[in-house]
A and B are shown apart, each in its own frame.
Chain A
Amino acid sequence: MTAGSSFGPGSGSLSCKPETGVSDQFPVGLRVLVVDDDVTCLKILEQMLRRCSYHVTTCSQATAALNVLRERKGCFDVVLSDVHMPDMDGFKLLELVGLEMDLPVIMMSADGRTNLVLRGIRHGACDYLIKPIREEQLKNIWQHVIRKKWNENKEHEHSGSMDDKDRHKRGGDDTDYASSVNDGCDGILTSHKKKRNVKEEDDGEIETDESGGSKKARVVWSVELHQQFVSAVNQLGIDKAVPKRILELMNVPGLTRENVASHLQKFRLYLKRLSGVTQQGAGPNSFCGSMEQSPKLASYGRFEIQALAASGQLPPQTLAAIHAEILGQPSANVGLPVIDHQPLLQPSKCMPMDHVMPYGQTLPSNVTKQISQPAIEDFHSGLGAWHLNNMVGNYGQLGGQNGHDMLLGMLPSQSQSQQPQKQSITVQPSRLVVPAQSSTNFQAVNQPTSFRGSVINYGVDQRSERDVGNRIGGQSGQNSVDNLIETGEKQISFGEAVHVLDQGPLKNLGFVGKKSSSPRWFSAYETISPINDLNHGDNNGRRRVKQEPNVEFLENSKTGGSAVTHRVSQNDLMSVFSE
Chain B
Amino acid sequence: MNRLLSLLFHQGVLDEQFLQLQQLQDQTSPNFVSEVVTIYFHESEKQLRNLRNLLLDREMWDYVKLGIHLNQLMGSSSSIGAKRVRNICAAFRTAVEQNNRSACMRALEVLEHEYCYLKNKLHELFQIEQQRVLGDAVRYPGVVHQQ
Give the chain B neighbours of A134 by CB distance below 8 A.
17, 20
Out of A38, A50, A51, A132, name the residue touching B72 (CB < 8 Å): A38
Q: A109-B71, A132-B79 are in contact. Are A44 and B24 (CB under 8 A)?
A: yes
Binary contact track B27-70/A, C-beta < 8 Å → 1, others 0: 01100100110011001100000000000000000000000100
Inter-chain contact B71/A41, CB cutoff 8 Å: no
Inter-chain contact A131/B68, CB cutoff 8 Å: no
B-facing residues in A54-84 (Cβ within 8 Å): 82, 84
User: In the complex, which residue of chain B has the Cβ closest to the Cβ of A133?
Assistant: B79
Inter-chain contact A47/B79, CB cutoff 8 Å: no
Inter-chain contact A135/B76, CB cutoff 8 Å: no
Give the chain A neighbours of B23 by CB distance below 8 A.
135
Inter-chain contact B72/A84, CB cutoff 8 Å: yes
A86 beta carbon closer than 8 Å to chain B = yes
User: In the complex, which residue of chain A has the Cβ closest to the Cβ of B72?
Assistant: A38
User: In the complex, which residue of chain A has the Cβ closest to the Cβ of B65?
Assistant: A86
A-facing residues in B61-110 (Cβ within 8 Å): 68, 71-72, 74-76, 78-81, 86
Give the chain A neighbours of B28 by CB distance below 8 A.
50
A40 beta carbon closer than 8 Å to chain B = yes
Inter-chain contact B24/A38, CB cutoff 8 Å: no
Q: A132-B81, A135-B20 are in contact. Are A43 and B72 (CB under 8 A)?
A: no
B21 beta carbon closer than 8 Å to chain A = yes
Inter-chain contact B32/A110, CB cutoff 8 Å: no
Give the chain B neighbours of A41 by CB distance below 8 A.
75-76, 79
Least distance between B132 CB and chain A CB atoms (Å)? 22
Inter-chain contact B80/A44, CB cutoff 8 Å: yes
Inter-chain contact B80/A40, CB cutoff 8 Å: yes
Least distance between A6 CB and chain B CB atoms (Å)? 15
A37 vs B43: C-alpha distance when bound (angstroms): 10
Out of A51, A82, A109, A132, name the residue touching B24 (CB < 8 Å): A51
Give the chain B neighbours of A131 by CB distance below 8 A.
74-75, 78-79
A39 beta carbon closer than 8 Å to chain B = yes
Least distance between A573 CB and chain B CB atoms (Å)? 49
A391 beta carbon closer than 8 Å to chain B = no
A181 vs B29: C-alpha distance when bound (angstroms): 60
A131 vs B76: C-alpha distance when bound (angstroms): 8
Out of B26, B32, B43, name the residue touching A40 (CB < 8 Å): B43
Binary contact track B8-28/A, C-beta < 8 Å → 1, others 0: 000000000100110110101
Give the chain B neighbours of A205 by CB distance below 8 A.
none
Give the chain A neighbours of B80 by CB distance below 8 A.
40, 44
Out of B17, B35, B43, name the residue touching A38 (CB < 8 Å): B43
Q: A40-B40, A131-B79 are in contact. Are A110 and B71 (CB under 8 A)?
A: yes
A135 vs B28: C-alpha distance when bound (angstroms): 17
A132 vs B83: C-alpha distance when bound (angstroms): 10
A398 beta carbon closer than 8 Å to chain B = no
A84 vs B71: C-alpha distance when bound (angstroms): 8
Give the chain A neighbours of B78 by CB distance below 8 A.
110, 131-132
A152 beta carbon closer than 8 Å to chain B = no
Out of A37, A39, A48, name the residue touching B39 (CB < 8 Å): A39
Give the chain B neighbours of A258 by CB distance below 8 A.
none
A486 beta carbon closer than 8 Å to chain B = no
Binary contact track A228-259/B, C-beta < 8 Å → 1, others 0: 00000000000000000000000000000000
Inter-chain contact A40/B36, CB cutoff 8 Å: yes
A181 vs B22: C-alpha distance when bound (angstroms): 55
Binary contact track A106-124/B, C-beta < 8 Å → 1, others 0: 0001110000000000000
Inter-chain contact B68/A86, CB cutoff 8 Å: yes
A41 vs B75: C-alpha distance when bound (angstroms): 7
Give the chain B neighbours of A44 by CB distance below 8 A.
21, 24, 36, 79-80
User: In the complex, which residue of chain A has the Cβ closest to the Cβ of B15?
Assistant: A132
User: In the complex, which residue of chain A has the Cβ closest to the Cβ of B75?
Assistant: A110
Give the chain B neighbours of A132 by CB distance below 8 A.
17, 20, 75, 78-79, 81
Inter-chain contact A40/B68, CB cutoff 8 Å: no
Inter-chain contact B43/A84, CB cutoff 8 Å: no
Binary contact track A15-40/B, C-beta < 8 Å → 1, others 0: 00000000000000000000001111
Give the chain A neighbours of B26 by CB distance below 8 A.
51
Inter-chain contact B32/A47, CB cutoff 8 Å: yes
User: In the complex, which residue of chain B has the Cβ closest to the Cβ of A50?
Assistant: B28
Out of A37, A40, A84, name the residue touching B79 (CB < 8 Å): A40
Binary contact track A148-167/B, C-beta < 8 Å → 1, others 0: 00000000000000000000
User: In the complex, which residue of chain B has the Cβ closest to the Cβ of A42?
Assistant: B39
A110 vs B79: C-alpha distance when bound (angstroms): 9
Least distance between A475 CB and chain B CB atoms (Å)? 55
Least distance between B49 CB and chain A CB atoms (Å)? 15
Least distance between A149 CB and chain B CB atoms (Å)? 29
Give the chain A neighbours of B75 by CB distance below 8 A.
38, 41, 82, 109-110, 131-132
Inter-chain contact B76/A40, CB cutoff 8 Å: yes
* Interface-central residue, B36, B78, B79, by most chain A CB under 10 Å: B79
A84 vs B69: C-alpha distance when bound (angstroms): 9
Q: A43-B39, A51-B24, A86-B68 are in contact. Are A38 and B76 (CB under 8 A)?
A: yes
Give the chain A neighbours of B74 by CB distance below 8 A.
110-111, 131
Give the chain B neighbours of A109 by CB distance below 8 A.
71, 75
Give the chain A neighbours of B29 by CB distance below 8 A.
47
A109 vs B74: C-alpha distance when bound (angstroms): 9
Binary contact track A123-143/B, C-beta < 8 Å → 1, others 0: 000000001111100000000
User: In the complex, which residue of chain A has the Cβ closest to the Cβ of B37?
Assistant: A40
A41 vs B74: C-alpha distance when bound (angstroms): 11
Give the chain B neighbours of A39 by CB distance below 8 A.
39, 43
Least distance between A391 CB and chain B CB atoms (Å)? 59
Give the chain A neighbours of B72 by CB distance below 8 A.
37-38, 84, 110
A221 vs B91: C-alpha distance when bound (angstroms): 50
* Interface-central residue, A41, A86, A132, by most chain B CB under 10 Å: A132
Give the chain A neighbours of B81 by CB distance below 8 A.
132
B residues within 8 Å of A by Cβ? 17, 20-21, 23-24, 26, 28-29, 32, 35-36, 39-40, 43-44, 68, 71-72, 74-76, 78-81, 86
- In the A-B complex, the 9 residue pairs with the smallest Cβ-Cβ separation, listed nearest first, are A110-B75, A40-B76, A110-B74, A132-B78, A40-B40, A131-B75, A132-B17, A132-B79, A47-B24
15 contacts between A and B (CB under 8 A): A38-B75, A40-B80, A41-B75, A41-B76, A44-B24, A44-B79, A82-B75, A109-B71, A109-B75, A110-B72, A131-B74, A132-B17, A132-B75, A132-B78, A135-B24
A43-B35, A135-B23 given; 10 more Cβ-contact pairs under 8 Å: A38-B72, A38-B76, A41-B76, A41-B79, A44-B79, A47-B32, A51-B26, A131-B74, A131-B78, A132-B75
